[in-house]
Chain A
Amino acid sequence: MTLLDAGSGWQATGPAGMPEPPGSDEIAAGSAAARPLREAWRMFAGNPLALVGLAILAGIVVMTIIGPYLYPVDPFDIVGAPLTPPGEGGLLFGSDYLGRDMLAGIIHGGRASLTVGGFAAIITMAIGISIGALAGFYGGWADRVLMRVTEFFQVLPPLLLAMVLVTLFSPTLTTITLSIGVVSWTNVARLTRAEFLKIRSLDYVLAGRAVGARDRRLIWRVILPNALPPLVVAAALSVGVAILFESGLSFLGLGDPNVMSWGMMIGQNKQVMLDAWWPTTIPGAAIFAAVLSISLIGDGLNDALNPRLRRR
C-alpha cells in the first residue's frame, strides 16, 4: 500500500474524526506552561541570587575577553618594585614578589582559568555522559564493566591523579585540561546512569522502539534530552570544580609555566603571604568570585529545571 492511495482512503471515508465537544476535553493552548524553556528562564530570572551569579560571571568573562586589549600589559613583565602595594606606582592591584603587574595577572590569568575550566567541564561531561548513558541504557554486563571502571576512577584521589597525569605529559594548557577532565567525570557518569535507568523503562521509550527507533536514537535523541535538567546543573558545577582544580595544580607548580593563571599567582606568591596580603588575596578573591557565581547559577538552574518546583 502506498502512502498516496492510503491518503485517499481517508478522503473516501469523509471526515473520519469528529472533534470532541469543546469544554469536555479541551484545555487552553498557549498557557503559561506552553514553552518549557521560556518557563525555566522565568523561574531562573525570578531568583535574585542566580541573577547575581550570572552578572558576576558575565563580568568576569567580559573582562577576560576584552581586558587584554584594553590593558595590554604582559603579566610576565616586571613593571615596578616588588610588592608595590595596590594603588601605588600606577598599579591598581600592586605588584607581586617579582614586581609584575597584578592587574595584568588577574586579567590574563582569568582567561587561562576560565578556558581550562570550560573545556575541562566539556570533557568531564562528554566522558561522564557517554559512560553513564551506555551503562544505564544497556544494563547487564555493560553496566557492570562500566561501573567497575567508574569505581576505579572514583577511589583514586582526583587531584593526585591529575598531578601524575600532568607531570607525565609536561604541563601545558591542553594536558592540564585533559587531565582535569579525565579525573572528574565519575559523578556525572553516576548521575547520567541513574537518569537513564529511570527514563529507559518509561512508555515513551518503548513507544520509540515500537515505531522503529534504533538504540542510538533512543539514547541520544529520546532519553538524553529528558535527562538533561540535572546534567545542566552538573555541567555548571563542574566548570567551578575545574577552575578550582586548575588553581590547585598551578598552586602546586604544575601549571603551564608559559601561561599566567590565578592559581599560579597564588602559588608563586605564597612565600610572601606574611609580608604582603595582596599578591595572594586578590587572585584568591577572583577564584572565589568565579566559583561562587557559577555555583549560584547552578543552584538557580536546579530550581528552574526541576519540574516539581515548576508545576506550581
Chain B
Amino acid sequence: MTADEKPAAPLLKVDDLKVHFAAARRRPFAAAATVHAVDGISFEVARGRTLGIVGESGSGKTTAALAILRLVPITAGTIDLDGVRISALGGEALRQMRRRVQFVFQDPFSSLNPRQRAGAIVREPLDLMGIGSPAEREREVAALFRAVGLRPEQQALFPHQFSGGQRQRIGIARAIASRPDLVVCDEPVSALDVAIQAQILNLLTRLQQTLGLTYVFISHDLGVVRHMCDEIAVLYLGRIVERAARASFFRRPLHPYSAALLSAIPGAGLGRMRLEGDPPSPINLPPGCRFAGRCPFAIDACRQSDPPLRAVADGHLVACHRVDDEGTPPHHAGV
C-alpha cells in the first residue's frame, strides 16, 4: 500500500454483535433463562483477506456465522457489508443481499438437500436470484463444477452418490455461484478425512485468489487457521478474548486461553499448559472474566470485573487483566 492510498474501508464490519437465545426451561415455572451464545463481538475484515475465528465447542462460532448471514435473529449490534448495514435489512432487500454473502457448512451430509441433484443445488442461487439467462446459467454451473474439481457430468447425481469431500466441493460451488464478496466457512473441513482436508483447503485458497473472495474462516484447529488466515480472533463463551494478525498471534499469544490452545500444538514453542475443567455455561455467566474458573493466573480482580478487549501492541487486542500495557502476558511475566 503506497503512502497516499487511504486504507480501504473494511468489507465486513461487525460491531458489538449479540445473539441470545431463550433457553429451554428445566422446570415448569422456572425463570426464563437466556443463552448468551454470542455476547458482544466486534471485528473487521478487509477485502480479499481471511479472518479466522477459533474457539472450542459451544463458544458461539456457528451462531456468529449464522448471524452474519442473517440466518439467526440478531439480539443487538450491527453488521455492515461494504458500507451497507445488512443487520437492518429485511424482506426482499435482505434476500437480494444474500448473493453477496455466502456460507460453507461444516457438515457436507446435512447441508445438501437429499432430493435435489447436484447440478440443481449449484444452480439454485442463480435461479433464485435471477442471475444470467437460463443458457448462461447452464454454462456457469458446468464451469463451477470444473472450478471445484468435479466433472460437469456429475450434475445429474444425487448428493448421496458423492463422497464427503465431493459433497463439500458441491457446497463450495453453491457458495461461490452468485459471485459473493464474502464467504463464511464454518469448519469446512472438520468433518472430512485428514487426507481430503488439505485438498479442500487448497481449493478454498485457490478460489480466493481467482475470485478475490473475502473469508471468515471458522475452525477449532489452530493448524488449519495458521495455514488459511491473515488475522485471528479467539472466541470464548461468546466473547472475543484476543484478536491479532497471524504472525503476532502465533509468535506471542497474549491471552492465557490462547496460550493454552497453542500449547497443545507440538512445536509451538510453548510449554504445555493444561486446561482444567469445562467452560461455564453460556446461561449462568460468572460476573468477572469468563475464563477465570480455568485460568491458572486468575486473581481476585479477575473474578470481580470483566476485562475489556483492549489494544496492547500494534493491532494486537486482548481481554485480560493480567496482560500489562507493554503487552506482557502473565505466562511470560516470570521469564
Which residue, A10, A210, A214, has most C-beta atoms of chain B within 10 A? Answer: A210
Binary flags per residue of B215-233, CB closer than 8 Å to A gives 1, else 0: 0000000000000000000
Residues of B in contact, count (CB < 8 Å): 60
Which residue, B113, B151, B203, has most C-beta atoms of chain A within 10 A? Answer: B113
A9 interfacial by beta-carbon distance below 8 Å: yes
B161 touches A24 (CB 8 A): no
B69 touches A210 (CB 8 A): yes
Binary flags per residue of B135-152, CB closer than 8 Å to A gives 1, else 0: 011011001001111110
| Cα–Cα, bound, A9→B210 (Å) | 8
Stretch at the interface among A11-19, A45-53, A123-131, A287-295: A11-19
A27-B162, A212-B128 known; A207+B148 contact, CB < 8 A: no
Q: Shortest beta-carbon distance, A281 to chain B, in Å?
A: 46
A17 touches B163 (CB 8 A): no
Residues of chain B with a CB closer than 8 A to A25's CB: 163-166, 193, 195-196, 199
A211 interfacial by beta-carbon distance below 8 Å: yes
Residues of chain B with a CB closer than 8 A to A15's CB: 146
Residues of chain A with a CB closer than 8 A to B165's CB: 20, 25
A222-B113, A225-B115 known; A206+B147 contact, CB < 8 A: no
Q: Shortest beta-carbon distance, A195 to chain B, in Å?
A: 14
Chain B, residue nearest A307 (CB): B114
Chain A, residue nearest B174 (CB): A211
Q: Shortest beta-carbon distance, A68 to chain B, in Å?
A: 41
Q: Shortest beta-carbon distance, B143 to chain A, in Å?
A: 5
A29-B161, A226-B115 known; A213+B199 contact, CB < 8 A: no
Chain B, residue nearest A8 (CB): B143
B56 interfacial by beta-carbon distance below 8 Å: no
B105 touches A203 (CB 8 A): yes
Residues of chain B with a CB closer than 8 A to A7's CB: 136, 139-140, 143
| Cα–Cα, bound, A33→B114 (Å) | 12
A15-B146, A24-B196, A214-B95 known; A226+B114 contact, CB < 8 A: yes
A89 interfacial by beta-carbon distance below 8 Å: no
Q: Shortest beta-carbon distance, B227 to chain A, in Å?
A: 18
| Cα–Cα, bound, A19→B166 (Å) | 10
Which residue, A33, A206, A214, has most C-beta atoms of chain B within 10 A? Answer: A206
A274 interfacial by beta-carbon distance below 8 Å: no
B49 interfacial by beta-carbon distance below 8 Å: no
Residues of chain B with a CB closer than 8 A to A207's CB: 103, 105, 111-113, 171, 174
Residues of A in contact, count (CB < 8 Å): 41
A203 touches B111 (CB 8 A): yes
B99 interfacial by beta-carbon distance below 8 Å: yes
Q: Shortest beta-carbon distance, B160 to chain A, in Å?
A: 6
B107 interfacial by beta-carbon distance below 8 Å: yes
A34 interfacial by beta-carbon distance below 8 Å: yes
| Cα–Cα, bound, A18→B151 (Å) | 10
B129 touches A211 (CB 8 A): yes
A59 interfacial by beta-carbon distance below 8 Å: no
A6 interfacial by beta-carbon distance below 8 Å: yes
B163 touches A26 (CB 8 A): yes
A36 touches B158 (CB 8 A): yes
Out of A6, A16, A202, A217, name the residue touching B146 (CB < 8 Å).
A16
Residues of chain A with a CB closer than 8 A to B193's CB: 25
A17 touches B150 (CB 8 A): yes
A6-B140, A16-B206, A20-B196 known; A27+B163 contact, CB < 8 A: yes
Residues of chain B with a CB closer than 8 A to A36's CB: 114-115, 158
B113 touches A212 (CB 8 A): no
B99 touches A10 (CB 8 A): no
| Cα–Cα, bound, A207→B102 (Å) | 9
A–B complex contacts, Cβ < 8 Å, 9 sampled: A4-B136, A10-B147, A20-B166, A26-B166, A36-B114, A203-B111, A204-B111, A211-B128, A213-B128
- Please list the residues of chain B having a beta carbon within 8 angstroms of any beta carbon in chain A: 66, 69, 71, 95-96, 98-99, 102-103, 105, 107, 110-115, 124-126, 128-129, 131-132, 136-137, 139-140, 143, 146-151, 154, 157-158, 160-166, 169, 171, 174, 177-179, 193, 195-196, 199, 203, 206-207, 210-211
